[in-house]
């Protein structure tokens, strides 16, 4: 029940619930990955079952695809959709310009492909994800397994000339084995502490052999829906330059929470 949610989970829930209002009948919708995006998928599933909403969802990971099917959303591939009306996803950090760090859940490659194949991208997040400057959250970089140690060394050498505070990097692990993405790659987490020029860093990273994609989403997000633990919601539209405020009610009868696994 919603009354049993922590303040952070309440904030994630209200952001997702409010963002679901932007989804209209007939839309092709990119479905993000992560705990906040899972609230969104559940909310949309409820709208499909109870309100007859008809949408087609393009998931950004195998686990999002599984959840979407479980709640009754029609799942199609991006190749089938070709272009999307809207993508809604979470973020690990966002700044005042709605630039993002994503990839904490390991799906940054598919997330960026889907987001950039959309007319609009909406980010849903709790207020704790807002930062003045990106970089406190480790920046994920997806790399091919072949020669990953060499790629790691090249990245660390390159960081010397970048406007960052930290230069250490670690291979993301899954237990005692390297984490493997849906595309069969590894992830290097860059512990930069502060990123002074995200646009430059993103461009340089993606020019390096062995790097598939990085978790900096620059000029991709159009709107962020920020949730607070008391039910307040703030909607920031970077294109319109507007900030709106709303409040979502918690219903004890809400059944979205019973078996959601983050």
103 is in an annotated binding site: yes
Question: pLDDT of 102-159, one tens digit each?
Answer: 999 999 999 999 999 999 999 999 999 999 999 999 999 999 999 999 999 999 999 9
pTM equals 0.94
All domains of the chain in start order, with CATH:
2-131+219-247 (3.40.50.1360), 139-215 (3.30.70.260)
Strands (E) in the chain, as ranges, are 28-31, 56-59, 74-75, 86-89, 93-94, 100-101, 121-126, 139-143, 168-171, 173-174, 177-178, 186-191, 211-214, 216-217, 223-227, 232-237, 242-247
Q: Is 26 annotated as a binding residue?
A: no
Mean predicted lDDT score pLDDT of the chain? 94
> What does the pLDDT look like over 77-86, one tens digit per residue?
999 999 999 9
Q: Does pLDDT of 1 surpass 70?
A: no
Is position 89 annotated in a ligand binding site? Answer: yes
Residues annotated as catalytic are 111
Consult the annotation and say whether 198 binds a ligand.
no
């Amino acid at each position: 029940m919603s009354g049993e949610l922590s303040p952070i989970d309440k904030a994630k829930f209200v952001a997702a619930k409010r963002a679901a209002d932007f989804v209209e009948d007939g839309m092709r919708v990119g479905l993000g990955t992560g705990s906040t995006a899972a609230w969104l998928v559940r909310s949309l599933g409820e709208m499909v079952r109870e309100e007859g909403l008809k949408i087609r969802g393009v998931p950004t990971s195998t686990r999002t695809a599984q959840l979407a099917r479980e709640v009754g959303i029609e799942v199609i591939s991006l190749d089938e959709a070709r272009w999307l009306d809207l993508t809604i996803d979470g973020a690990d950090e966002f700044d005042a310009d709605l630039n993002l760090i994503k990839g904490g859940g390991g799906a940054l490659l598919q997330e960026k492909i889907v987001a950039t194949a959309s007319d609009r991208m909406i980010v849903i997040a709790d207020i704790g994800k807002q930062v003045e400057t990106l970089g406190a959250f480790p920046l994920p970089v997806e790399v091919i397994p072949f020669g990953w140690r060499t790629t790691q060394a090249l990245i660390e050498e390159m960081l010397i000339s970048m406007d960052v505070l930290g230069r250490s990097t670690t291979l993301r692990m899954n237990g005692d084995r390297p984490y493997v993405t849906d595309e069969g790659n590894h992830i290097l987490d860059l512990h930069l502490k502060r990123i002074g020029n995200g646009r430059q860093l993103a461009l340089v990273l993606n020019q390096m052999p062995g790097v598939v994609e990085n978790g900096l989403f620059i000029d991709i997000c159009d709107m962020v829906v920020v949730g607070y633990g008391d039910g307040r919601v703030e909607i920031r539209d970077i294109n319109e330059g507007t900030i709106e405020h709303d409040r979502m009610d918690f219903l004890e009868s809400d059944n979205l929470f019973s078996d959601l696994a983050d």
